[in-house]
């Protein structure tokens, strides 16, 4: 890729500070030079996968002059915001003329007389149309194998000079991509190249150590292949490290996190300060409802309400005012409420939604509680929620930032017993095994709070942080 293309010298990447050309990394060069019909680029976040994918696409668009190729991504938002944006960035950096057809989601390159189609692959049934001379797929591990197979079947343009299908991805365990490109039984004609961490990103990977648990860091930031979705879900937890006697601190607000299950109805109460989560209590109510959970919350926080400070007034001043002079009431207790976003539609009792019941309950106790609801509009991904919880139990830097009071017995059981689900063949899935009706609800509730207040720093795609080469 770093050499001459037909009638065009392409600069691989531009240093944002100096404007000088950046040469590809050795793993990018090896990927581009590979003559394999099907090839892949695997590596950690920030290792230049999107740059390699888009540069390979541009090279093939020039080599296959006058022909059509496809660039795909798992979803349309990722295609639009990350993959296509990366490709347009390369065109702009090199002042390559192009015509973007938004209605057709395609780009035409006049110099090469080539057309590039951009397609979301979340519905592989729609992958039909003209024969292709090449195709490339971004974040391949988040695509279904049928999408790749459909594209592979379209790779048959008789006028193409260099047929090629390629993809880039961050490892996601020993999945179909690993089997096809890397494993001991990889398919004939397939070759994969593994990238290393990008040395130009400064302390980027060091900062990720705080947000990622050890396994997730090894997968995302070191590009290792691990069974992240096998065995114990909350594997960093152990009673010796994370259970202790925890005292309520009147100097800080409390939070309440809910999971609107009916049997059991579960929630947790805690405090967060100094970057440390302290789970003070758990509420587990059999065959219950949201209003009963609210009443139980009121009972469990009675000692916290009693600890509120009454305004300090000198005794001699009181005597001057006479017996029975009314004092100002103590300030309300600050409460942050988190929980299941489905509660905006779901009804566990009556005709009101769960969150309507919560709001109405606290509306009757404005003298006791000052409440702020922090409920997302949509569910976070299960894997993201789990990774955030694990990172608080133990991050890659070796820090423990969450502790449970010893009376939180069911939450401790959740952490110890909850496992990942497997398919009928025993292959791990990124779904929680909820065969035990008692498990997952408390950890789900806690996870809603953690993913809201301690999210993973990385956003979708590779375009967070400094410009990548």
Mean pLDDT by 10 residues, the chain (469 residues): 54 76 89 95 92 95 95 93 93 93 93 94 74 95 92 94 96 88 90 92 88 87 81 90 95 95 90 96 92 95 86 57 58 94 61 89 95 89 91 93 95 91 75 88 95 74 32
In a domain, 160, yes or no: yes
183 and 281, same domain (yes or no)? no
179 and 255, same domain (yes or no)? no
- What is the reported pLDDT for 461? 39
152 and 293, same domain (yes or no)? no
384-401 tens-digit pLDDT? 899 999 999 999 999 999
342 and 444, same domain (yes or no)? yes
Range of the domain at 303: 239-309+329-453
Please state, as a whole number, how many other Cβ atoms lie within 10 Å of the Cβ of residue 70: 25
CA distance 365 to 371: 10
150 and 285, same domain (yes or no)? no
59 and 176, same domain (yes or no)? yes
180 and 276, same domain (yes or no)? no
In a domain, 386, yes or no: yes
118's CB contacts (< 8 A; 6+ apart) are: 70, 71, 72, 73, 79, 83, 84, 105, 106, 107
In a domain, 31, yes or no: yes
| Number of folded domains that form the chain | 2
360 and 437, same domain (yes or no)? yes
CA-based nearest residue to 201, from 453, 386, 458: 458
CA distance 350 to 312: 44
Question: What would the two tokens of residue 128 be?
Answer: 């039909």
For residue 38, the domain's CATH number is 3.40.50.300
Choose one of 201, 228, 260: the last residue of a domain: 201
270 and 403, same domain (yes or no)? yes
Q: For residues 31, 35, 39 and 41, what is the CA-based torsion angle, rounded to 10 degrees?
A: 0
For residue 434, the domain's CATH number is 3.30.420.280
CA distance 402 to 391: 9
In a domain, 467, yes or no: no
In a domain, 233, yes or no: no
281 and 162, same domain (yes or no)? no
Q: How far apart are the first and last CA of the chain?
A: 13
Choose one of 173, 201, 229: the last residue of a domain: 201
In a domain, 461, yes or no: no
CA-based nearest residue to 52, from 74, 30, 69: 30
In a domain, 269, yes or no: yes
In a domain, 278, yes or no: yes
263 and 180, same domain (yes or no)? no
CA distance 311 to 24: 67
- Mutual angle of helices 382-393 and 441-453, in 10-degree steps: 80
352 and 249, same domain (yes or no)? yes
């Amino acid at each position: 890729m770093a050499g001459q293309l037909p009638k065009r010298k392409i600069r691989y990447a531009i240093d944002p500070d100096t404007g000088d050309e950046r040469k590809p990394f050795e793993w990018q060069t090896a990927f581009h030079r590979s003559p394999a019909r099907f090839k892949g680029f695997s590596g950690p976040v920030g290792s230049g996968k999107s740059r390699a994918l888009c540069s390979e696409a541009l090279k093939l668009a020039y080599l296959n002059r006058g022909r059509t190729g496809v660039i795909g991504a798992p979803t349309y938002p990722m295609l639009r915001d990350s993959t296509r944006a990366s490709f347009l960035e390369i065109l702009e950096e090199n002042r390559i003329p192009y015509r973007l057809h938004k209605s057709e989601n395609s780009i035409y390159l006049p110099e090469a007389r080539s057309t590039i189609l951009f397609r979301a692959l979340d519905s592989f049934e729609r992958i039909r149309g003209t024969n292709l001379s090449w195709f490339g797929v971004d974040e391949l591990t988040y695509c279904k194998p049928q999408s790749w197979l459909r594209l592979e079947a379209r790779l048959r343009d008789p006028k193409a000079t260099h047929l090629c299908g390629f993809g880039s991805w961050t490892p996601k365990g020993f999945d179909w991509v690993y089997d096809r490109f890397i494993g001991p039984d990889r398919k004939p004609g397939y070759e994969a190249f593994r990238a290393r961490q990008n040395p130009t990103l400064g302390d980027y990977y060091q900062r990720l150590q705080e947000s990622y648990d050890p396994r997730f860091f090894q997968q995302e930031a070191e590009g290792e292949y691990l069974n992240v979705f096998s065995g114990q879900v909350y594997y960093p937890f152990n009673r010796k490290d994370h259970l202790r006697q925890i005292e309520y601190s009147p100097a800080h607000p409390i939070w309440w996190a809910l999971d609107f299950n009916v049997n059991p109805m579960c929630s947790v109460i805690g405090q967060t300060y100094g970057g440390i989560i302290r789970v003070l209590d758990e509420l587990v109510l059999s065959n219950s409802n949201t209003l009963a959970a609210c009443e139980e919350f009121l009972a469990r926080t009675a000692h916290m309400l009693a600890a509120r400070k009454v305004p300090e007034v000198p005794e001699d001043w009181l005597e001057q005012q006479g017996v029975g002079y009314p004092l100002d009431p103590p300030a309300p207790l600050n409460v942050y409420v988190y929980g299941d976003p489905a509660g905006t539609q779901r009804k566990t009792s009556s005709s009101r939604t769960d969150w309507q019941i919560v709001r109405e309950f606290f509306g009757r106790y404005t003298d006791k509680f000052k409440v702020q609801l922090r409920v997302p509009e949509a569910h976070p991904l299960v894997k993201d929620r789990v990774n955030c919880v694990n990172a608080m139990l133990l991050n890659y830097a070796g820090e423990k930032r969450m502790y449970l009071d010893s009376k939180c017995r069911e939450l401790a059981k959740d952490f110890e017993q909850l496992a990942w689900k497997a398919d009928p063949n025993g292959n791990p899935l990124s779904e929680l095994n909820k065969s035990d009706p008692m498990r997952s609800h408390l950890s789900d509730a806690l996870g809603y709070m953690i993913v809201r207040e301690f999210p993973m720093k990385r956003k979708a795609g590779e375009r967070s942080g400094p410009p990548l080469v």
